[in-house]
Amino acid sequence: MIDEAHKQGMQVHAYFEKGIKIDKNSPIFDEAIAKRWIVPGVDKTYPEIEHYVLDVEVPEVAQLFKSILVEFVQKYPTIDAVQWDDYLGYHADLPGKVDRTTHLTNFVKQMRDDMKKANPNVSFDLCHHNPYWGKRYFAADWSNWNVDRVFIQTYNDANFNQELVYAEKYEGVAISDEQLYRLKELMNNPKIKSVLVFSSEGKPEETAALVKKFTVNK
Protein backbone atom coordinates (compact mmCIF):
# COMPACT_ATOMS: atom_id res chain seq x y z
CA MET A 1 0.00 0.00 0.00
CA ILE A 2 2.81 2.40 0.88
CA ASP A 3 4.63 1.70 -2.38
CA GLU A 4 1.49 2.18 -4.47
CA ALA A 5 0.56 5.38 -2.65
CA HIS A 6 4.01 6.82 -3.29
CA LYS A 7 3.70 5.97 -6.98
CA GLN A 8 0.50 8.04 -6.98
CA GLY A 9 2.23 10.98 -5.31
CA MET A 10 0.51 10.33 -1.98
CA GLN A 11 1.86 10.17 1.56
CA VAL A 12 0.91 7.46 4.05
CA HIS A 13 0.45 8.40 7.70
CA ALA A 14 -0.04 5.86 10.49
CA TYR A 15 -2.77 6.98 12.88
CA PHE A 16 -2.05 6.07 16.52
CA GLU A 17 -5.57 7.12 17.39
CA LYS A 18 -6.01 5.51 20.80
CA GLY A 19 -2.92 7.16 22.24
CA ILE A 20 -2.46 6.06 25.85
CA LYS A 21 -6.11 5.12 26.39
CA ILE A 22 -7.63 1.66 26.48
CA ASP A 23 -11.10 0.25 27.11
CA LYS A 24 -12.44 -3.07 28.34
CA ASN A 25 -12.06 -4.57 24.86
CA SER A 26 -8.32 -3.91 24.80
CA PRO A 27 -6.17 -7.06 24.68
CA ILE A 28 -4.05 -5.71 27.55
CA PHE A 29 -6.93 -4.49 29.74
CA ASP A 30 -6.78 -7.30 32.32
CA GLU A 31 -2.99 -7.17 32.48
CA ALA A 32 -3.07 -3.39 32.87
CA ILE A 33 -5.50 -3.68 35.79
CA ALA A 34 -3.50 -6.45 37.44
CA LYS A 35 -0.21 -4.57 37.12
CA ARG A 36 -1.71 -1.22 38.11
CA TRP A 37 -0.74 0.45 34.88
CA ILE A 38 -3.86 2.64 34.85
CA VAL A 39 -4.36 6.00 36.55
CA PRO A 40 -7.33 6.06 38.96
CA GLY A 41 -10.75 6.83 37.55
CA VAL A 42 -12.58 6.54 34.26
CA ASP A 43 -11.95 8.96 31.41
CA LYS A 44 -15.31 10.14 30.05
CA THR A 45 -14.05 12.73 27.61
CA TYR A 46 -16.39 11.06 25.14
CA PRO A 47 -19.50 9.84 27.02
CA GLU A 48 -20.32 7.01 24.62
CA ILE A 49 -17.33 4.96 25.81
CA GLU A 50 -15.46 4.55 29.07
CA HIS A 51 -11.71 4.85 28.65
CA TYR A 52 -8.96 4.02 31.07
CA VAL A 53 -5.70 5.93 30.78
CA LEU A 54 -2.34 4.22 31.02
CA ASP A 55 0.14 5.84 33.40
CA VAL A 56 3.29 6.74 31.47
CA GLU A 57 5.07 7.31 34.77
CA VAL A 58 5.17 3.52 35.08
CA PRO A 59 8.43 2.46 33.40
CA GLU A 60 6.86 -0.64 31.83
CA VAL A 61 4.12 1.43 30.21
CA ALA A 62 6.52 4.04 28.86
CA GLN A 63 8.82 1.37 27.48
CA LEU A 64 5.91 -0.50 25.88
CA PHE A 65 4.91 2.55 23.81
CA LYS A 66 8.49 3.43 22.89
CA SER A 67 9.12 -0.13 21.74
CA ILE A 68 5.91 -0.28 19.70
CA LEU A 69 6.71 2.96 17.90
CA VAL A 70 10.33 2.03 17.19
CA GLU A 71 9.30 -1.40 15.93
CA PHE A 72 6.68 0.14 13.66
CA VAL A 73 8.96 2.64 11.91
CA GLN A 74 11.59 -0.06 11.46
CA LYS A 75 9.09 -2.53 10.04
CA TYR A 76 7.68 0.10 7.66
CA PRO A 77 10.75 2.24 6.91
CA THR A 78 9.12 4.17 4.05
CA ILE A 79 6.06 5.31 6.04
CA ASP A 80 5.84 9.10 5.83
CA ALA A 81 4.51 9.94 9.28
CA VAL A 82 2.96 8.71 12.47
CA GLN A 83 0.17 10.78 13.96
CA TRP A 84 -1.11 10.93 17.54
CA ASP A 85 -4.17 12.82 18.74
CA ASP A 86 -5.88 14.10 21.88
CA TYR A 87 -5.97 10.59 23.34
CA LEU A 88 -2.35 11.39 24.17
CA GLY A 89 -3.34 13.23 27.30
CA TYR A 90 -4.94 13.08 30.76
CA HIS A 91 -8.35 14.68 31.02
CA ALA A 92 -8.73 17.19 33.84
CA ASP A 93 -11.84 15.40 35.16
CA LEU A 94 -9.85 12.37 36.29
CA PRO A 95 -9.97 12.04 40.11
CA GLY A 96 -7.51 13.94 42.25
CA LYS A 97 -5.55 17.13 41.80
CA VAL A 98 -2.60 15.55 40.04
CA ASP A 99 -0.53 17.48 37.50
CA ARG A 100 0.83 14.98 35.01
CA THR A 101 1.99 17.61 32.51
CA THR A 102 5.74 17.30 33.06
CA HIS A 103 5.73 13.51 33.03
CA LEU A 104 3.68 13.42 29.84
CA THR A 105 6.01 15.93 28.16
CA ASN A 106 9.11 13.94 29.10
CA PHE A 107 7.50 10.73 27.89
CA VAL A 108 6.47 12.09 24.49
CA LYS A 109 9.85 13.76 23.89
CA GLN A 110 11.66 10.53 24.69
CA MET A 111 9.29 8.50 22.53
CA ARG A 112 9.84 10.88 19.62
CA ASP A 113 13.61 10.82 20.10
CA ASP A 114 13.65 7.02 20.11
CA MET A 115 11.57 6.97 16.93
CA LYS A 116 13.87 9.46 15.20
CA LYS A 117 16.95 7.41 16.12
CA ALA A 118 15.32 4.33 14.63
CA ASN A 119 14.08 6.13 11.50
CA PRO A 120 14.85 9.86 11.14
CA ASN A 121 12.81 10.15 7.94
CA VAL A 122 9.43 9.65 9.63
CA SER A 123 7.50 12.75 10.69
CA PHE A 124 6.14 12.74 14.26
CA ASP A 125 2.75 14.47 13.93
CA LEU A 126 0.00 15.46 16.32
CA CYS A 127 -3.69 16.29 15.96
CA HIS A 128 -4.76 17.87 19.23
CA HIS A 129 -6.71 20.66 20.88
CA ASN A 130 -5.31 24.17 20.69
CA PRO A 131 -2.27 24.70 22.95
CA TYR A 132 -4.26 26.39 25.73
CA TRP A 133 -6.97 23.73 25.92
CA GLY A 134 -4.45 20.92 25.51
CA LYS A 135 -2.37 22.03 28.48
CA ARG A 136 -5.26 23.20 30.66
CA TYR A 137 -7.62 20.24 30.24
CA PHE A 138 -5.43 17.35 29.05
CA ALA A 139 -2.02 17.95 30.69
CA ALA A 140 -0.76 18.07 27.11
CA ASP A 141 1.77 20.88 26.85
CA TRP A 142 2.42 19.84 23.27
CA SER A 143 4.17 23.07 22.28
CA ASN A 144 7.13 21.59 24.20
CA TRP A 145 6.93 18.09 22.73
CA ASN A 146 9.16 18.82 19.72
CA VAL A 147 6.58 17.40 17.31
CA ASP A 148 7.18 17.92 13.60
CA ARG A 149 3.66 18.93 12.54
CA VAL A 150 0.52 19.93 14.46
CA PHE A 151 -3.08 19.90 13.23
CA ILE A 152 -5.63 21.73 15.39
CA GLN A 153 -8.91 19.95 16.10
CA THR A 154 -11.95 22.11 15.36
CA TYR A 155 -14.68 19.53 15.97
CA ASN A 156 -16.53 21.95 18.25
CA ASP A 157 -18.26 23.85 15.49
CA ALA A 158 -19.54 26.56 17.83
CA ASN A 159 -15.93 27.63 18.45
CA PHE A 160 -14.77 27.09 14.88
CA ASN A 161 -13.61 30.64 14.17
CA GLN A 162 -11.65 30.86 17.42
CA GLU A 163 -9.96 27.53 16.74
CA LEU A 164 -9.15 28.59 13.20
CA VAL A 165 -6.90 31.33 14.57
CA TYR A 166 -4.72 28.64 16.12
CA ALA A 167 -4.86 26.39 13.06
CA GLU A 168 -3.52 29.17 10.85
CA LYS A 169 -0.32 29.15 12.90
CA TYR A 170 0.35 25.45 12.53
CA GLU A 171 0.31 22.74 9.88
CA GLY A 172 -3.43 22.69 9.39
CA VAL A 173 -6.86 21.90 10.73
CA ALA A 174 -8.89 18.78 11.52
CA ILE A 175 -12.64 18.70 10.90
CA SER A 176 -15.25 15.95 11.02
CA ASP A 177 -17.34 14.80 8.07
CA GLU A 178 -20.24 16.72 9.62
CA GLN A 179 -18.31 19.96 8.92
CA LEU A 180 -17.61 19.40 5.25
CA TYR A 181 -19.68 22.44 4.39
CA ARG A 182 -16.68 24.41 5.70
CA LEU A 183 -14.28 22.91 3.17
CA LYS A 184 -14.69 25.69 0.63
CA GLU A 185 -13.73 28.45 3.06
CA LEU A 186 -10.80 26.40 4.34
CA MET A 187 -9.53 25.71 0.82
CA ASN A 188 -9.77 29.41 0.03
CA ASN A 189 -7.89 30.42 3.16
CA PRO A 190 -4.20 30.88 2.22
CA LYS A 191 -3.17 30.50 5.87
CA ILE A 192 -4.54 26.95 6.09
CA LYS A 193 -1.87 24.58 4.78
CA SER A 194 -3.89 21.36 4.99
CA VAL A 195 -7.18 19.87 6.12
CA LEU A 196 -7.65 16.52 7.88
CA VAL A 197 -11.13 14.99 7.69
CA PHE A 198 -12.26 12.63 10.43
CA SER A 199 -14.88 10.01 9.63
CA SER A 200 -17.16 10.33 12.66
CA GLU A 201 -19.21 7.24 11.79
CA GLY A 202 -16.19 5.09 11.00
CA LYS A 203 -17.07 4.82 7.30
CA PRO A 204 -14.04 6.23 5.45
CA GLU A 205 -15.26 5.27 1.97
CA GLU A 206 -18.46 7.27 2.44
CA THR A 207 -16.51 10.18 3.92
CA ALA A 208 -14.10 10.15 0.96
CA ALA A 209 -17.03 10.29 -1.44
CA LEU A 210 -18.45 13.28 0.43
CA VAL A 211 -15.10 15.05 0.34
CA LYS A 212 -14.97 14.58 -3.40
CA LYS A 213 -18.48 15.98 -3.68
CA PHE A 214 -17.58 19.09 -1.71
CA THR A 215 -14.24 19.71 -3.44
CA VAL A 216 -14.93 19.05 -7.10
CA ASN A 217 -14.92 22.29 -9.10
CA LYS A 218 -14.34 24.36 -5.94
Strands 149-153 and 52-53: unpaired
Rounded-to-integer distance, Cα 155 and Cα 71, Å: 32
pLDDT tens, 62-115?
Answer: 999 999 999 999 999 999 999 999 999 999 989 999 999 999 999 999 999 999
Architecture of the 2-19+55-153 domain: Alpha-Beta Barrel (3.20)
pLDDT for position 45: 79
Give the Cβ contact number of residue 120 at 10 Å.
8
Domain borders along the chain are 2-19+55-153
pLDDT tens, 153-167?
Answer: 999 999 999 999 999
pLDDT tens, 168-215?
Answer: 999 999 999 999 999 999 999 999 999 999 998 888 899 989 888 888
pLDDT for position 114: 98
Q: How confident is the model at residue 217 (pLDDT cuts 50, 70, 90)?
A: low
pLDDT tens, 136-153?
Answer: 999 999 999 999 999 999
pLDDT for position 204: 87
Average pLDDT over residues 42-51: 84
Over 98-115, what HEC string results? CCCHHHHHHHHHHHHHHH
Residue 36 has phi, psi (to 5 degrees) of 60, 50
